[in-house]
Structure 1
Amino acid sequence: MPKDMTQNLSVYSRRESAARSYCRAFPTEFTSAKGSVLTDAEGNDYIDFLAGCSSLNYGHNDPDMKAALIDHISGDGIAHGLDMHTDAKTAFLEAYEEHILKPRGLDYKIMMTGPTGTNAVEAAIKLARKVTGRRNVIAFTNGFHGMTLGSLALTGNSGKRGGAGGAHLGDVTHLPFDGAMGEGVDTLQFIEAMLENGSSGVDAPAAFIFEPVQGEGGLNAASDEWMQGVAKLAKKLGALLIVDDIQSGCGRTGTYFGFERAGIVPDMVTQAKSLSGFGLPFAALLIKPEHDIWKPAEHNGTFRGNTHAFVTARVAIEKFWKDKTFETELQAKTTLLTTGLQDLAALIPGATLKGRGLMQGVDVGSGDLAAAICARAFEKGLVIETSGADDEVVKILAPLTTPDETFRKGFAILLDAAREVTETNKIAAE
């Protein structure tokens, strides 16, 4: 039964911290969700082009994952097991080994970190420093790696870094990401020159860390050649290569890992967001066996290895990644997405497409314009956010399972919103 939300929402301004963010852009109370559609307390449906910021790659409440989780809970399955052996963990590890690692010829130890992506990143940089005996980590412009101090030190965005309140964010050198210095500038060549110059002031790195596609930084996509070059340089310098695949992984860029197309094998890979498949907290760090030199409990956490997430993650792997069928479907959806974004870009002078796979968007030139388009789209029934240093990119992270017809409906809303906003701006300018 639809209800008036006014009284419900007032509790948030009274009691929830000012740190809240997404609810400010989407001021309604959601009560249910299925597939690629959210429903609020007044019965309004919204097409979801955000997917929990890529935490719901397989959609809301996948029926097979939901059934498996309900069965596990109904049967008094383990709810919390620290890092003890459980049947749920056994099934997850076996599925991951069989359907993710073996088909790709990869050999990694899987470390269950605390349940958020930033904890996986913290573990990665701690281990890199432990393995190499070095402190400096090379991160990149526009990168985002988390909000705890170590991860935040790697992050480029000044707004995010400002939240540290003056805390030391050191032992990191930020160098230009692929394309960051404009067309025609080879940033890899610049990076090599800096690191091979004994007078550059850049200390020998323990690790390099990058995202294959920068999710929060504006959907900047690293080329295969750039990723290969960084991997080669890391090896040459005796540094480890860490790929942050938290937002770009689990199929988001068209393959399970965001770096697969480049043919590189990172020393470590961070995973979170859609790893559980169901939106449950779950993060992990993949480590080459020769680098797995942790002592027992040297990096731990009460909630490492969310048992309920093991259940749903195993189903997600077996349902979507046991063969190439899903990956092939993603290629077709990528074409559909790209076409829709080209239509959006055509409405805005100077707009450009960004990203890769089903992690794409349009740089509309200003944060104000992008925010206005997204706000109008929400009023029309579409949940969508912005990205970029100045929030200038309209960013699409729809569930990978979104039906084509739902994609088209979402694009129709987005295009209508963009037309209305640009027409309003045009009239105001006149």
Structure 2
Amino acid sequence: MTVIDDVACLESEVRVYSRSWPDIFTRASGDRIHAADGSVYLDFFMGAGALNYGHANPLLKAPLIDYLTADGIVHSLDMMTEAKSDFLRSFQELVLRPRHLDYKVQFTGPTGTNAVEAALKLARKVTGRETVVAFTRSFHGVSLGALAVTANADKRAGAGVPLDHVLRIPYDGFGQHGVSGLDLLDDLIRDTGSGISLPAAVIVETVQGEGGVNIAGAEWLQRLAAMCSKWDILLVVDDIQAGCGRTGGFFSFEDAGILPDIVCLSKSISGYGLPMALTLFRRELDVWNPGEHNGTFRGSNPAFVTATAALRTYWSDEVLHKEVVAKGELVSDYLTAVCSRYPGVVHRGRGLFWGVEFAEPGLARRVSAAAYEDGLLVETSGPDDEVVKLLPSLLISPADLRAGLRILGGAIDRTMA
């Protein structure tokens, strides 16, 4: 029995990534992660999007070390601390005000699924309605409320109870015929004989990461937002994986020019991979009673420290935004060349959020495994794991980006051969 087998036998069978990448990892810096046997991997996984600024970013690590060394408060529930007030001021100054967003900020439990739970509860409380519209291939988390609006059959099967009060409609371009569910939704709401009650909210990802890197078009999102406004339905954007600069702008919905009523953030909002989540909402929607949605770890001060450092370092100007767009064009050009060699292999993405889809089941998993053998971490997504998903650091150098793409291209060539 190997060392990793000996340790793994103590852990639940629910584990995932240690099965695909059977190394014991010891340290990481920038775009690389090191294993105990000396292997070094370029990381195009980045904590499933929780490490947009790379591993152990020194500009974020230094203020964190200083804070901890000075006995800064670590745990404070929702008491006001200096670290929290610094974050709130920075978030207002660098993110909300420049985008003319008058959002209140709610610190939920420190995971994306909890940010979604808060959004759904708030929408139902504000409107007094029960039904939430969600989309095919969506993923919003695995706690019961978030799981109800998630589409993945395997994830839903783990609930053990009915997952109700959700109306599921097709996402932009869904299925072999590329249908859009907005006509259907409009008809269902408009016709009093449809049997559908007016929904409380619509929850949508502008880019469906776990669903296979499916991209909603700007016009589709604009029409959805207009429908929500027309029918007095709250629009919730789940920006947990696509936000914090992953598609270019801080929020993934900026390019579409829409204004969600509620926004969910997590993953890279802390900047350093520390657990943190936010639910943002229009000021007039703040109808919570004190403590109505709470959690013991809704005030992680180390996460506030690194989040503030990330905002001040990377979001005081447009430099990062422009770099992400430019690197995205590099990825697009490379993937276009690779995919053109193989019928049935297609790519899609925005910014530094990309997927390569394979028509034949199992190929994406084999490509991911081959890339791992050659020193690159990439995961798969989609209902049948048919998509290789790329989430490199937003700060990755063009040289490292090209190196990782060459490894991926070689893995595709070897697998298709």
* TM-score normalized with structure 2 length: 0.98
SS of the residue corresponding to residue 260 of structure 1 reads coil
Task: Name the structure 2 match of 1:9.
Answer: 4
Provide the secondary structure at the position in 2 that maps to 1:313: helix
- In the alignment, the residues of structure 1 paired with residue 343 and residue 227 of structure 2 have an alpha-carbon distance, to the nearest angstrom, of 39
Which residue among 396, 401, 408 is the counterpart of 2:402? 408
1:203: which partner in 2? 197
Conserved? CA contact 2:170–2:180, under 8 Å = no
Matched, 1:175 2:169: yes
Distance in 2 (alpha carbons) for counterparts of 1:42 and 1:343: 35
Matched letter for residue 399 of structure 2: E
Shift of 1:218: 0.8
Aligned to 2:321: 327
In the other structure, the counterpart of 1:361 is 355
Q: Report the equivalent of 1:30.
A: 25
Aligned residue for 1:138, secondary structure, equals strand
Q: Is the 8 A contact 1:364 1:370 kept in 2?
A: yes
What SS does the corresponding residue of 1:15 show, helix, strand or coil? coil
1:164, distance to aligned residue in structure 2 (A): 1.1
1:64 matched residue in structure 2:
59
1:229 CA drift (Å): 1.1
Superposition map of 1:340-355 within 5 A: 340-355=334-349
> How far is the alpha carbon of 1:342 from its aligned partner?
1.3
2: distance between equivalents of 1:314 and 1:403? 23
Gaps of 5+ in 1: 1-5, 424-430
Distance 1:19 1:162 in 2: 14
* Structure 2 residue 227 is matched with structure 1 residue 217: no
Structure 2 residue corresponding to 1:370, chosen from 364, 369, 394 = 364
Residue in structure 2 matched with residue 428 of structure 1 by the alignment: none
**SS of equivalent to 1:360:** strand
1:258 to 245, 248, 252: 252
Which whole-Å deviations, capped at 9, do the CAs of 1:60-93 have from their partners, x for residues lacking one?
0110110010000000000101100101001101
Distance 2:363 2:176 in 1: 23
- For residue 93 of structure 2, the aligned residue among 98, 101, 104 is 98
Please list, as runs of the form range in 1=range in 2, the aligned pairs for 1:69-88 lying within 5 A after superposition.
69-88=64-83
Separation in structure 1 between the aligned mates of residue 149 and residue 180 of structure 2, nearest angstrom:
22
- Range with bigger deviation, 180-189 or 238-247: 180-189
Q: Aligned ranges for residues 141-160 of structure 1 at < 5 Å?
A: 141-160=136-155
Identity of aligned residues (%): 48
**Structure 2: unaligned runs, 5 residues or longer:** none
Map of 1:280 onto structure 2: 274
SS of the residue aligned with 2:168? strand
How many angstroms does 1:408 deviate by?
0.9
In 1, Cα distance between equivalents of 2:93 and 2:36: 42
Cross-structure match for 2:221: 227
> How far does residue 346 in structure 1 lie from its aligned partner after superposition?
2.2
CA displacement at 1:238 relative to structure 2: 1.5
Q: Is the 8 A contact 2:79 2:299 kept in 1?
A: no
Alpha-carbon contact 1:366-1:390 (below 8 Å) kept: no
- Find the aligned partners of 2:266 and 2:220 in 1 and give their Cα distance: 24
Structure 1 partner of 2:104:
109
Residue 153 to residue 80, structure 1, CA distance change in 2 (3 Å) = same
Deviates more, 1:194-203 or 1:285-294: 194-203
